[in-house]
Structure formats: structure tokens, C-alpha cells
Structure 1
Amino acid sequence: MRISIRFKWTALISIVILMAYIFVGILAMRTVQSVASVNEIHSFTTKLIIGGVVVFILGVVLTFYAVTLVLNDLRKINKTIDDLNKKPDSDSRIKLRKRNDEIYDLTVNINKMLDRMQAYTNQQKEFVEDVSHELRTPVAVLEGHLSMLQRWGKDDPEVLNDSINSSLQELKRMQSLIQEMLDLTRVEQIDSAYLEQTTEVKPMFTQVYNDFKMLHPDFVINFDDDIREGSEVKIYRNHLEQVLVILLDNAFKYSADRKEINLAASTNSALLEVVVQDYGLGIAKNDLKRIFNRFYRVDKARSRKRGGNGLGLSIAKRLIEIYHGSLEVESVVGSGTVFKIELPLIQKVPEEEQTEKEATENNQATNNKK
């Protein structure tokens, strides 16, 4: 038989109150018996019993009321969870009056968890829909070309050649899309060992700059290097390089008439700050908030011609956030775009302090041995 927690706790607390009252009453009776007359003892006993009944009744009522208040809050939590179980995409949340106690803190945390879960669910749905949409076009193109070749195109060398070239182009785009989707999946499931990796900043930036200067000889690439020697950030080298490559590749891809790119990197006492700037097409204000969304492209037709799938910036943003950094963007249509990265630097202990610390530890170890 199921017994409500309200009755369990009411009974338990009431019994505790009653036992405490009986214990105090026995001590009081022993004291009174040693100093009072028989009539006084009888009167005191009567008052003690009446008081005990009153205290017990008040204890039961107050305990029942207090437990009921707590259970009402728990019922609201349970009802919200039941609603979400019935309708997982519901936006219903636990609503409690704001107060400074553990139940309210619990509801705040549950609501935050529900918000995250709903965000992940929505992202998953959008991801599946976007993947289906993105793959549908190349599959339809391939099907069209193959059907045409099957019917009559294979007998026409020019049509055959055009169809094969178009099919290969769509296959390459599908291959690129699948690779980017795999990269995005890996970003969401980064091994914890990578999170402890560190990267010396200066050599990595120099390498990336030299690589792009070789790949794009027709561009002017300005590299403003203000990185302090020996500066390190807590990020896996390949991940930081991947972010830079994504941002620089976009800068080159969407530069129009003015073929000039600015790459700036600097360090202060706490942060690595990186700026990638182009003077290309720019991004409209309405699109800036969505460019980090998966598969989002400002101009889908134009992006497709340049080979974009709309996943690169999502990957870059997620990687930087995983390592507790930030990635922001500013842009003006027709004037270009600026991406800004901030990552926390590893704070190094000066050599003198490190030597002194090691000496202290060695002295403590020697004293412990003695």
C-alpha cells in the first residue's frame, strides 16, 4: 500500500515532538516531586498533560502544513516533468514564487537543464532537416544526369562529358558536406585528453600565415604579430589551427575586389586576442546573429558556388567555446567582416618564484623524512 510522504513525515516529526515533550515532562516531574506538595504535584501533572496534548496537536498541524507546502512545490515540478514526457517539445517550465531556499534553487537548475535539453533537441531536429535538405539537391542532380544518360545522353559525347563533370562536382560537394558533418560530430564529442593540451601560440600563427601566403599569392596578407614569446593557451594545437583556417578560408573566399586580408594576434596579461579581417562582401545585420548556426548561409546560391556548406563557422564557434574562449563577429555590407577570438592564456609562474617553490617543497620533504 502506498503511503503519502506527507503522512510519513507528519507522523515521524509528531512522534519526535511527543517523545521530546515526554522526556522534558519526566525531568520536570522529578524536580517538582522533590519540592512541591501532593496538591501542587497533581495540579502540575494535569497542566503537563493538557500542555502535552496541545503541543502534540499543534505539532501535528504545523508539520502537516509545512510538509504540504513542500509537497505542493514538488507536485508542480512533477506536473511539469509529466507534461514534458507527454510532449517533449513543450516549452512549459516550473513556475515557483521567488524565494531563497533549496526548492527554488532546484527548480532554477531544472529549468536551466530543460532549456539546454530543448535547445539540443531543436538543434538535432534542425540538423537532421538541414542534412536532408542539403543532400537532396546533389542526389537529385545525380539522379537527373544518370536518368538522362540512361535514356539517350550516353550516345552524345558532349552530353556524356557534361553529365560526368557535373556528377563529379556534386559528388565532391557531398564528400565535403559529409566530412564537415563528421568534423562537427567530433567537436561535440571531444576526448577529455585534448582539453588538457597546450599550444605555444607564436610558432603556430607563423606557420598558418606562411601557409596561406603560399596558397594565395594574389592576395596581400598583413600579419600583425604582437604575441609575447613563450605564450601558451590551453587548447589542442590542431583545434586552434582548424579555427584559424576556417576564418581565413572564409576571408579569402568572400573577398571581392580588394584582395587584402588582415591577421592580427596579440597577448596581454590574461588573454590571446586574434582578429581576422577582410574587405569583401560583408554580412547584413540581420544575418550576423545566425551565421554561427549549422548550415546557415547568407546567400546560399553564392555560397554554393564558392564551395560553402555553412558548417565551418559552427565548428569554429563550438571549438572556441569548449576551450572557454569567445568568437565574435562585426561586419558592414560592402566593406568587409571582422572576426575576433579571445582565449585565456596559461599563467606561468616566474622562474624565481618557481625555484623558490621547488626549494620549499624539497625542504618540506626532507623534514618529513627526518
Structure 2
Amino acid sequence: MSTVLVTGGSGFIGVHTILQLLADGHAVRTTVRNPGRSNDVIAMLREGGALAPDQVGFVTADLLRDDGWREAVTGCDYVLHVASPLGARVPEDENELIVPAREGTLRVLRAARDAGVKRVVVTSSFAAIGYGHPPQAAPFNETVWSNLDGEGVQAYPKSKTLAERAAWDFVARQGNGLELAVVNPTAVFGPALGADFSESIGIIKALLDGAMPAVPRIHFGLVDVRDVADLHLRAMMSPEASGERFLAVAGETMSILGVARVLRAKLGSKARRVPRFQAPDWMMRLAARRNPMARAALPLLGKVRRATSAKAQHLLGWRPRGNEEMIVATAESLIRLGLVKA
């Protein structure tokens, strides 16, 4: 089988992608910023059921430095560029996210081109599609780009949009035959394999911990991390995927209150701390005066952005899990790993 580089192997999507590559028989190499993280990756792979996690090769490389990238890509047939800066806090300077995302993506693409890699699959986001637009009833699809001049567009959507646009422009102008495909997930849920998980899973943890007496009026699309990994592999191998972007979303948009109701219905006493009520918007605005995370949530209040994965399903045969299944799997993994309050 092929030799595949996965950037950011210690991340939530990265480690699940490595799991599926190993299961399919590929030789896998991954990058970590700190060489000490290799043990964490191996532990998460074992938690995910990998039979020989120690066969994964590790290279130390940082998105902001050239060191290590030539070694990382040499001999690889494909690169899955999953690594992306995403901090838990809202940055004071949006360039803290934008520069690593854009420059890191270009650094990976240049190294892949120079090493003769066949195709790079970049993990972008729905944030590069559905932000900065006026309300619309029709679901967003891959033909749309986020409007960075629109109201309330913050650092993360800007970073994902600018990084993805830079990737397409690079391949068109300087790719020298390098193929590109892009995966644009909505909020990513699914089984945690350790303490490294998506910001989306932080929502489930906060609900189970009872960290919120009431939930904000926020809606989002959901997708299971196992299905995101599967879509990366399909975008890597399918001839039809070259030059295409694929929106990854499982079904209908849900509210945080809807997620809370699933947890209470399916987990019984384990969901005893999950809130039952939705906070009025005025309460969120009041909290935003002192809480930066509440302030960051204000532009999302009441906005429903529907999305469709019809293209991935039709072109690549992708079949995602349903919302309820992934919510329960997320919660059960957090409980099993002892990552929520007892």
C-alpha cells in the first residue's frame, strides 16, 4: 500500500485518520511539534484499537519553521495535512491563528511538491464556507466561500478561509502537477482517545460537567471524527476527488439544547448535570462583558447555518453516522476515559 504523511498526528482528527490508514494497510508517518508527544500518539492509537501503533514513523516539524518538512515528506505518496492552529482562547491578535494556518499550509504544499507527492488532502473547515453571509434557507455547499468582510467574522474562520484559498492558489500557480483535495468538516464529535480532542467535544464535556446552568442559543452542523477520517482517505485515493472540496456534515443542524436533550435521554444518571434550559440572548450579552468565550459566542447566537454533504456522498460514496449516534459515542468516551466529573 501507499506511504502517507499525516501532519499533526497528536490531534483529534489526525490520530483517528492514522487509525484508519493503519487498518487499511498503509505505511504511516506523522509530524509532531514536540518529539515527546509521540508516546501520547501511540497511547491514543492503542486506545483506538491499533494492532501495531509503534510502526508509525514520527518526524518533528512545526508549521512555522522549515526544519523537518523535507524529511517528513520524502518517500511519501500522499500527504494528509490535518494540523492546524486552534487555541481554546480567543486571540488578541487574529494573526496568531491566520499566519500559522496559511504559512503552514504553504510550507507543507511546497515540501510535498518538491518531494514528488501525488496528492495532498488539506483539512479545511465549514468555517471557510458558511461565515459572513446573511441568513439563507438553502444549505451551504462547496461552491460557497466565507465572506471575510461580513458581520462578526472572527479569527478562526479567517484563518481557515485564507489558508484554504492560499492552498488552491499555490497548486494552480506553482503546483507542477501536485493534486489537491480539501475536506471541510462542520463541528467534529465522536470518540475521544485521550485528553486531546476537538473544541466541539469540549461542548459535550462542559454539558456533562454541568459547567453551564443554561446553554446559549447556538446551532451547528455535526460530523463524527471517524467519518471525517474516512472522507480524508476517500479524497486521497479517489481519482474523482482531485481538484475538489468536500463538505463533511452528517445531517441536520442541531442546537446545543438539542445536544443536551440527547445526552439526558440516552445517558440517564450519567447526564444528571446536563442543563435543561436555553439562556436568553440578553444573559449571554451580560456574561460577555466579563467572559471572553461568551463574547466570542455572541455573533453565533440564533444563526442557523444548514449544510449539505450531498457531493461527498454522491461522488465518493461517503456515508456518515447520524447525529445521535456520534453524540452518545462522544459522551461515553469521555466518561470511560475519566475526563468528566464523576
Per the TM superposition, whether the score is higher than 0.5 is no
Q: TM-score with structure 1 length normalisation?
A: 0.20
Q: TM-score with structure 2 length normalisation?
A: 0.21
